[in-house]
Amino acid sequence: MEQSVTNNGTSQQQLAKIVYILYLVGVVFGITGLIGVVMAYIYKSDAPEWLYSHYQFQIRTFWIGLLYLVVGSILLVVLVGWLVYLFWVVWLIIRCVKGLQILDKKEPHPNPTSWLFK
């Protein structure tokens, strides 16, 4: 597939890869996840169709992950929140690694609207 290039010469595929990496770093430094979702919103409109599915998947990953974090925070009162946080970390890592693998093959994400891992 053709690799489109932004104005500064960076390929859009590399930008999508950066978003996945920012999400992974966001496990430790939460602000990078926010930066990643902003990038995904900005670049999705100019992306080719196969890459658009990755941005859609990344945006959903952010919002669903935020939902898990809010639920985990609420459940901290009964100590179950730690398990929700642990689930969120594993869930995020798996989604990002699978997304990166599909991105490296230059294929569209097969199910960008999923809640779990695929």
Q: What is the DSSP letter of 29?
A: S
- pTM of the predicted protein model: 0.87
Reported confidence tier of residue 117, pLDDT bands at 50, 70, 90: low
Q: Mean of the per-residue pLDDT values for the chain? A: 88
pLDDT digits (tens, 9 = 90+) for 61-103: 999 999 999 999 999 988 899 999 999 999 999 999 999 999 9
pLDDT digits (tens, 9 = 90+) for 2-51: 455 554 435 889 999 999 999 999 999 889 999 999 999 999 998 898 99
112 closest CA partner among 2, 32, 16: 16
18, 47 contact by CB (below 8 A): no
In this structure, how many other beta carbons lie within 10 angstroms of the beta carbon of residue 29?
Answer: 10
